[in-house]
Amino acid sequence: MDRFFRILELNKIFNTRRTPVSRRDLEELLESNRSTIKRTIEEMRLYLDAPIKYDRRQNGYYYDIKEGEHPFEIPGLWFNSDELFALMVTHRLLSEIQPGLLDATISPFRRRIEVLLKDKEAGRGEISRRVRILQTAARPTNVDDFRKVTTALVNRTQLRLFYHSRSGDETTERIVSPQRLVYYRDNWYLDAYCHLRNELRTFSLDRLKPIRTDERPAKDIDDQELDNHFTKTFGIFAGSVKNVATLRFTSQASKWVADEYWHPEQQGKILKDGGYELKIPYGNPTELVREILKYGVEVEVVEPKSLRETVASTLQAALKIYRNN
């Protein structure tokens, strides 16, 4: 945990605890040693004017805040109105993407921003009421797990974790070198080099449990190699491009599909009958099949033959279920 995050975490601890917190508890909570904790506390007192006191009787540190006073907020944040509004919208987006995930860290800044907006006669609390984000099938991510993953990612250290695979229904212990954090279709994923499998893998954050960050530096993979592995094919499934799907949408569906972004290397054209032809490179067809099925009778797989047969057999299996009922 770096200096900035230690200060944020200490501020959150002191603002939420009602009794003094011992140094040893702080060392455990922040995964730091004695000298680091003492240095961080002194820096907060000296540079941030934090009201940190030490209670000898209870052998712990606390914020000396009188009843009725506002919680201590880390000073700073001087922006113009446009920048403040941008920050508030960003906070709203983050809060809706994963409710509670970053609230504890961002809330002090949010209160400060709201005060500054009010001082500029620009804030009337409208953003939280007027910005609405809808999600579908989002899977919650544990706050502490998210923090450990992002810390290892930014500090470029290896991460030891347990990972439960849905497909194999098994849990394995892994050591990984984090490469990129991905937010895809309302869920978080970690692209990493897996030292157990000796290859690049994608891990769903809701399925992993970080054990601890490792002192060993993470294995760095070139950006181009990461792009080639993770972004060349359709969807979250990584790997090399094996086929190009040609999809033909009806004139009704083309009104939407023609404006949609499916893949960086997609090719599309309007057909004479008003329909739309879309070509998409893919490797693993699993996610592409699901996307095609969403359009029902509004789309036809032209090629390759293997993808056409897979979609057709899936539709036939679904029809059989309804016929049996």
Task: Sort 223 into a burial class: Cβ within 10 Å, 0-12 / 13-18 / 19+.
Answer: exposed
pTM for the model stands at 0.65
pLDDT in tens, 121-148: 445 556 666 666 677 777 888 888 888 8
DSSP 239: S
Per-residue pLDDT for 196 more than 90?
yes
Give just the sign of the alpha carbon dihedral 226, 228, 229, 232.
positive
Rounded to whole angstroms, the Cα distance separating 202 from 228 reads 14
The fraction of the chain above a pLDDT of 70, given in percent, is 82
The CATH number for 243-324, chosen from 2.40.160, 1.10.3470, 3.30.70, 3.40.630, is 3.30.70
- Start-end of CATH 1.10.10.10 domains in the chain: 3-63
pLDDT in tens, 271-316: 999 999 999 999 999 999 999 999 999 999 999 999 999 999 999 9
pLDDT in tens, 23-38: 999 999 888 899 999 9
- Start-end of CATH 2.30.30 domains in the chain: 143-230
The order of strands in the sheet holding 170-184 is 199-204, 187-194, 170-184, 157-165, 208-217
pLDDT category of residue 3 using cuts at 50, 70 and 90: confident
Higher pLDDT, 194 or 215: 194
Higher pLDDT, 233 or 192: 192
CATH topology for the 3-63 domain: Arc Repressor Mutant, subunit A (1.10.10)
DSSP 207: G
- Start-end of CATH 3.30.70 domains in the chain: 243-324
Please give the angle made by the CA atoms of 26, 29 and 30, to the nearest 5 degrees. Answer: 80
Phi, psi of 75 (to 5 degrees): -70, 165
pLDDT category of residue 77 using cuts at 50, 70 and 90: very low
Look up the CATH number of domain 143-230.
2.30.30
Note the pLDDT of residue 191: 95
Question: 170 - beta bridge partners?
Answer: 165
Of 21, 19, 18, which is closest to residue 10 (Cα–Cα)? 21
What distances in angstroms separate CA 242 from CA 120, 168, 265, 279, 289, one per listed residue? 56, 24, 14, 13, 15
